Chain A
Amino acid sequence: MRRRDFLLGTVPLALAATGARAIGPRSEVGVGRLKHGGAWDQRPEALRRLLWEAGKRTSISVARDAAVVSLDDDTPEGKELFWQPLVFLSGEGELPPFTARQRARLERHLRYGGMLVIDAPSAADPFTAGAKRELAAMLPGTTLRALDGEHVIFKSFYLLDGAVGRSRDDAHLYGVDVAGRAAVVLSTNDLLGALERDRFGTWRFDCEPDGEAQRELAFRLAVNLLMYATCLDYKEDQVHIPFIMKKKRR
């Protein structure tokens, strides 16, 4: 079938489904918030906000809130780790080293299909170095590489030019590939900082330098990460490529 023929007469997706919910909490898409020995809970509301936004913007049936998970295997949070295919690791300042057992659990999670998003306040924050240290110890032989603007994460739902967060110091995300997918993604723009609201609905941090427009882009990137976690490289299927190329040219 020719590409043109394939596309003619199709039904626009905009005429799409009504919203729906999964049948049971485990069928809802949630995220894990990784509890660690450092300042792990500096953005306590961000992921709840992300899930809410994703539920509003996409067809994903989302969980109400993020689940706290840990790398210990003898706690309820530890047992929750493998029920959360997408886990966020965030913090500020020093990241105390994981134990060998903790590293093994996280590595097993990633190798069997899990995904870890590391959100650092900035590239200079000691948390970034600590996270890189743990990745090197946990996934020896792998490389943390820059994900350029063509990576599927930047087109999994929104078409984005690069990475943003509360800051936009680095347009790149960084990733570690495991079995052909970005199992680990590192942001150094304080992505969760842009999503964080207090209980009164006020944004806790200003986005620099572009304010609310930048915050919107941060939400879009976060939604894209969630979409990548659930659809993987769907947007790199051959059928999508001509559409995305066309839209990007405009």
Chain B
Amino acid sequence: MTPHDAAFNARELVALTRLPAWVIAVVAVALLVAVALGAHATRGAPLGVRGGLLALRAALCLGVLALLLEPGLRLMATSKEPNRVVIAVDASASMAEDDDGRPRARRAADAARALLDDLAHRSEPFQPELWWFDGTARRATVEELAAFGSDALPPTGATSRLAAALEPGQGAVPRGEGAPPLGGMVLLSDGADTGGLSAALTPELREAAARVGAPVHTVAIGASVSFKDLALERVVTDELAFVRNKLTVEVNVRSKGYDVTVPLTLKEDGRPVATADAVVKDGASVKATFTFEPQRAGKRVYTVTTPVLADERIAENNRVDFTLKLIRDRIRVLLVAGRPSWDERHVRRILKENPSVDLISFFILRSTTDLTNAGNRELSLIPFPTRELFTEELDTFDVVIFQDFNYRPYQMAPYLENVKQFVEGAGGGFMMIGGELSFSEGDYEGTPIADVLPVRLLPGTGHTSTETFAPLLTDAGRSHPVTDLGELSVEVGAGGLSALPPLEGLNLVAGVREGADVLLAHPFLNVGSEPAPVVAVAEIGKGRSMAVLTDSTWVWGLPHVGAGGRGDAHRRFFANALRWLIRDPELSRTRIVVDLPDATRGVEPGSAVPLEVRTFNSRYQPEGGDKVTITLTPLDATDGTTPTVLEGTTAEDGAWRATFTPPFAGVWRARVDAKAGSGDDAKAIGSDEDAFVVRATAAEKLFSEPRPDVLAAPAAAGAGRAVDADDVHGLPFVDHKIERVHRQRTEPLWDRAWVIAALTALAGAEWWWRRRRGFA
């Protein structure tokens, strides 16, 4: 029998009138007036007569009113609406864990079946509904549940998110009016939530649990088994950090089965940078904090490790890798000037006023031949700490500037090799500014400094020119960021930087080194067949070097103002130079981006890593057609591992995109080299590097410890119970007592002859009695 065939089992009285309410109200008032008039007209009559007449009139009025309302009888066939009980089973990979010979999935399936059986035997109408959840929630069937419990359908979800089952509209929780009533939820899980859920619920999840409107019960799977493990759970730090600023890295260390103090080590690119101890307690998570000052900018790979203890279930989660982008908050510059001068003064002023520069400067204020007429105590002179500067402190600088400085009087010869290594090996920036103590005049020919200069020095001294000249922008200089002097650079067509005051004096050199670029050249002095360099730059190993072969660029400042200019060319020139020397990423013509959803924590094993390379032409515009080579090297690899090389050509938008699936886990560095042109004519555009982490084991595997404490939290927030798998009977659910009407029929009660007759009889009786007693 369908619901439509069901017998009527409920009825109710209804009004069928279609008259508007105000008409009914007017008639009701009129009838009240009629009763009142009747009472007034029968004054003085015996009480029985008066009462009888008023009763007759009132009954007549009520009858008329009922006639207007058109009473009817609604007959209904109804049934009780069953309440959904959502049984959500964790299908993440951690449920495949085998605890003392019985996989968690089987335990969960058994518990779910027990629940189904329990619900089937209840007197209240509860309708069980099976769901899976891992990263998301989806419906399940009884057959799938059976397969889940027999290993035919193994749990494979890459993540566990208990919240997935609770999110309205996304998971099993109904949303909106008309949705079937929810009698309750039961989450069956090991509690190993990789979505960041902890025993302390987020306010959003607490609210979501409360909004379910029915009890949320949790069933802990595998809670009772013995599980010993130490896990580095979570790294908390900023995605960006500043070099030479204190950086705090927090790591959550979770212990299951251990009460010990464990040492932790933080490594940067494989080099230990900080250590910490964590006092762990069984079943608790403690925070270990590392504080250190990173020294080098760029993408750095960090690794936190702790020793594997005896009987640990999972060794892989004793290590966590993450990447951090370290940027300079300030460029640390060492300026050594051989004597005070207007050039030195203007360079110092520019550097001091630049908020991004941390300047350490040493000026030689007195030479051996100077006669001060004063004792040392009357002078403010200090020693020149060459050893500290050029041994211990050198690698703390980003850029070293020798301005009109001769090293010889300070016994600095042993330290010049350090400066060379600072540039070539450590990637530092070096600038030499001209004057009668610089370049060949400073006796640098044949020293390690000469090896890192963009120019080749002449032997001996006396290689200077005192001519006044307007330097020429070379082809390289026109597009190079160092000589991007705004609108002044545009005036090259007029014969160089003619809008700027002319320079005066030049250090002469033998030429430029191979691979160096001359940005500004002398208009009439030549070196061989080429114009003499005025400003030259070069990539030297990992670092960069710049030669300014004059001590008169200061005239681009104040004297330019006197000539009506803005006077900012000098400032801009040095600001550009610093940015170029430190390899400011914004000035790189080749850039690689490893775009990961969670760059800090890396990717799961087997995931494809998206790589994007962008190249720019000399005018820093995307052009396309550039040959790109990406070399992917595993930093943890043992000897003999061959890097993976990907090659391509940039499209018109200057980009080339590729994906790479790392063959094994670990830290990978992606280096891109780009060239414009092809064959022998190919010219290097530049290179760039990025790094990423491929986690050794899926998070589901790393953090598979049963967490009944995590399961207790949503149960508490959802007014439910947190129980074990063996204790699922009798969980309370809500019967919303909602009845569904399947069929109904309405029968009018007023359109019957006896109703009219009764009213007529009432009116006649009242009229007759009133007339008989002599009332009007």
A60–B561 alpha-carbon span in the complex (Å): 25
Which residues of chain B are near A82, meaning CB under 8 Å? 558-559, 561-563
Known: A59-B339, A216-B373. A17 touches B368 (CB 8 A): yes
Tell me how far the C-beta of B436 lies from the nearest C-beta in chain A, rounded to whole angstroms: 5
Which residues of chain A are near B382, meaning CB under 8 Å? 13, 239-240, 243-244
Q: Is the CB of A15 within 8 A of B368?
A: yes
Q: Is the CB of B340 within 8 A of A16?
A: no
Task: List 16 other contacts, CB 8 Å, given A26-B552, A156-B380, A157-B365.
Answer: A17-B364, A20-B435, A22-B341, A23-B550, A24-B466, A26-B505, A29-B340, A57-B372, A58-B339, A59-B367, A61-B436, A82-B559, A158-B374, A158-B378, A227-B365, A230-B340
Within 8 Å of chain B (Cβ to Cβ): is A27?
Answer: yes
Which residues of chain A are near B352, meaning CB under 8 Å? 232-233
A27–B553 alpha-carbon span in the complex (Å): 10
Q: Is the CB of A58 within 8 A of B340?
A: yes
Q: Is the CB of A13 within 8 A of B551?
A: no
Within 8 Å of chain A (Cβ to Cβ): is B507?
Answer: yes
Tell me how far the C-beta of B353 lies from the nearest C-beta in chain A, rounded to whole angstroms: 8
Within 8 Å of chain B (Cβ to Cβ): is A113?
Answer: yes
Within 8 Å of chain B (Cβ to Cβ): is A83?
Answer: yes
A16 CB contact (under 8 Å) in B409, B435, B468, B550: B409
Q: Is the CB of A231 within 8 A of B551?
A: no
Within 8 Å of chain A (Cβ to Cβ): is B392?
Answer: yes
Residues of chain A from 199 to 250 with CB closer than 8 A to chain B in the complex: 216, 219-220, 227, 229-235, 237, 239-240, 243-244, 247, 250
Which residues of chain A are near B383, meaning CB under 8 Å? 7, 10-13
**Interface-lining segment among B82-90, B164-172, B288-296, B343-351:** B343-351
Q: How many residues of A contact B (CB 8 A)?
A: 64
Which residues of chain B are near A234, meaning CB under 8 Å? 348, 361, 363
Smallest Cβ-Cβ distance to B567: which chain A residue = A112
Q: Is the CB of B435 within 8 A of A13?
A: no
Which of the listed residues B365, B376, B410 has the most CB atoms from chain A within 10 Å of its own CB?
Answer: B365
Known: A17-B338, A17-B437. A1 touches B392 (CB 8 A): yes
Contact with B along A104-139 (1 / 0, CB 8 A): 000011001110000000000000000000000000
Within 8 Å of chain B (Cβ to Cβ): is A67?
Answer: no
Within 8 Å of chain B (Cβ to Cβ): is A93?
Answer: no
Q: Is the CB of B562 within 8 A of A79?
A: yes
A227–B382 alpha-carbon span in the complex (Å): 15
B387 CB contact (under 8 Å) in A10, A114, A239: A10
Tell me how far the C-beta of A149 lies from the nearest C-beta in chain B, rounded to whole angstroms: 13
Contact with A along B110-146 (1 / 0, CB 8 A): 0000000000000000000000000000000000000
A250–B369 alpha-carbon span in the complex (Å): 27
Q: Is the CB of B436 within 8 A of A20?
A: yes
B349 CB contact (under 8 Å) in A26, A29, A61, A113: A113
Contact with B along A1-42 (1 / 0, CB 8 A): 100011101111111111111111111010000000000000
Tell me how far the C-beta of A244 lies from the nearest C-beta in chain B, rounded to whole angstroms: 5
Within 8 Å of chain A (Cβ to Cβ): is B386?
Answer: yes
Within 8 Å of chain A (Cβ to Cβ): is B465?
Answer: yes
Q: Is the CB of A17 within 8 A of B341?
A: no
Within 8 Å of chain A (Cβ to Cβ): is B377?
Answer: yes
A82–B345 alpha-carbon span in the complex (Å): 15
Which 9 pairs, one residue from A and one from B, show the smallest C-beta to C-beta distance?
A82-B562, A24-B505, A23-B505, A10-B383, A230-B340, A24-B504, A59-B339, A10-B385, A17-B367
Contact with A along B200-215 (1 / 0, CB 8 A): 0000000000000000
Q: Is the CB of B561 within 8 A of A108?
A: yes
Smallest Cβ-Cβ distance to B466: which chain A residue = A24
A17–B364 alpha-carbon span in the complex (Å): 8
Residues of chain A from 78 to 106 with CB closer than 8 A to chain B in the complex: 79, 81-83, 85
Q: Is the CB of A112 within 8 A of B558?
A: yes
Which residues of chain A are near B345, meaning CB under 8 Å? 85, 229-232
Known: A108-B561, A247-B380. A16 touches B344 (CB 8 A): no
Which residues of chain B are near A24, meaning CB under 8 Å? 466-468, 504-505, 552
Known: A230-B342, A232-B352. A23 touches B434 (CB 8 A): yes
A79–B376 alpha-carbon span in the complex (Å): 41
Smallest Cβ-Cβ distance to A247: which chain B residue = B377
Residue contacts A-B, CB under 8 angstroms, 27 given: A1-B392, A10-B383, A13-B366, A13-B381, A13-B383, A16-B368, A23-B465, A24-B552, A25-B466, A25-B504, A27-B343, A27-B505, A27-B551, A58-B372, A61-B341, A61-B436, A82-B559, A83-B559, A83-B562, A109-B562, A113-B349, A113-B567, A158-B374, A158-B380, A239-B362, A243-B380, A244-B382
Q: Is the CB of B379 within 8 A of A11?
A: no
Within 8 Å of chain A (Cβ to Cβ): is B681?
Answer: no
Within 8 Å of chain A (Cβ to Cβ): is B33?
Answer: no
Q: Is the CB of A231 within 8 A of B348?
A: yes
Smallest Cβ-Cβ distance to A229: which chain B residue = B345
Tell me how far the C-beta of B505 lies from the nearest C-beta in chain A, rounded to whole angstroms: 3
Smallest Cβ-Cβ distance to A181: which chain B residue = B349
Which residues of chain A are near B557, meaning CB under 8 Å? 112-113
Residues of chain B from 451 to 469 with CB closer than 8 A to chain A in the complex: 464-468
Q: Is the CB of B340 within 8 A of A235?
A: no
Known: A13-B366, A19-B369, A234-B361. A155 touches B380 (CB 8 A): yes
Which of the listed residues A5, A27, A216 has the most CB atoms from chain B within 10 Å of its own CB?
Answer: A27
Contact with A along B386-423 (1 / 0, CB 8 A): 11100011000000000000100111000000000000
Smallest Cβ-Cβ distance to A235: which chain B residue = B380
A5–B393 alpha-carbon span in the complex (Å): 11
Within 8 Å of chain A (Cβ to Cβ): is B371?
Answer: yes
Which of the listed residues A81, A113, A155 has the most CB atoms from chain B within 10 Å of its own CB?
Answer: A113
Smallest Cβ-Cβ distance to A14: which chain B residue = B376
A233–B380 alpha-carbon span in the complex (Å): 13
Within 8 Å of chain A (Cβ to Cβ): is B555?
Answer: yes
Tell me how far the C-beta of A98 lies from the nearest C-beta in chain B, rounded to whole angstroms: 17
Which residues of chain B are near A247, meaning CB under 8 Å? 377, 380
A232–B371 alpha-carbon span in the complex (Å): 22
Within 8 Å of chain B (Cβ to Cβ): is A145?
Answer: no
Which residues of chain A are near B376, meaning CB under 8 Å? 14
Contact with A along B323-360 (1 / 0, CB 8 A): 00000000000000011111111101100110000001
Q: Is the CB of B364 within 8 A of A16?
A: yes
Residues of chain A from 148 to 169 with CB closer than 8 A to chain B in the complex: 155-159
Smallest Cβ-Cβ distance to A27: which chain B residue = B551
Q: Is the CB of B551 within 8 A of A23?
A: yes
A220–B341 alpha-carbon span in the complex (Å): 18
Known: A20-B338, A23-B434. A157 touches B380 (CB 8 A): yes
Within 8 Å of chain A (Cβ to Cβ): is B775?
Answer: no
Which residues of chain A are near B506, meaning CB under 8 Å? 23
Tell me how far the C-beta of A3 lies from the nearest C-beta in chain B, rounded to whole angstroms: 11
Which of the listed residues A19, A21, A24, A61 has the most CB atoms from chain B within 10 Å of its own CB?
Answer: A24
Q: Is the CB of A9 within 8 A of B339?
A: no
Within 8 Å of chain A (Cβ to Cβ): is B5?
Answer: no
A165–B340 alpha-carbon span in the complex (Å): 24
Which residues of chain A are near B567, meaning CB under 8 Å? 112-113
Q: Is the CB of B561 within 8 A of A112?
A: yes
A237–B466 alpha-carbon span in the complex (Å): 34
A15 CB contact (under 8 Å) in B377, B385, B409, B437: B409
Tell me how far the C-beta of B387 lies from the nearest C-beta in chain A, rounded to whole angstroms: 5
Smallest Cβ-Cβ distance to A5: which chain B residue = B388
A2–B686 alpha-carbon span in the complex (Å): 40
Which residues of chain B are near A17, meaning CB under 8 Å? 338-339, 364, 367-368, 406, 409, 437
Within 8 Å of chain A (Cβ to Cβ): is B384?
Answer: yes
A27–B435 alpha-carbon span in the complex (Å): 8
Smallest Cβ-Cβ distance to B359: which chain A residue = A237
Tell me how far the C-beta of A112 lies from the nearest C-beta in chain B, rounded to whole angstroms: 4
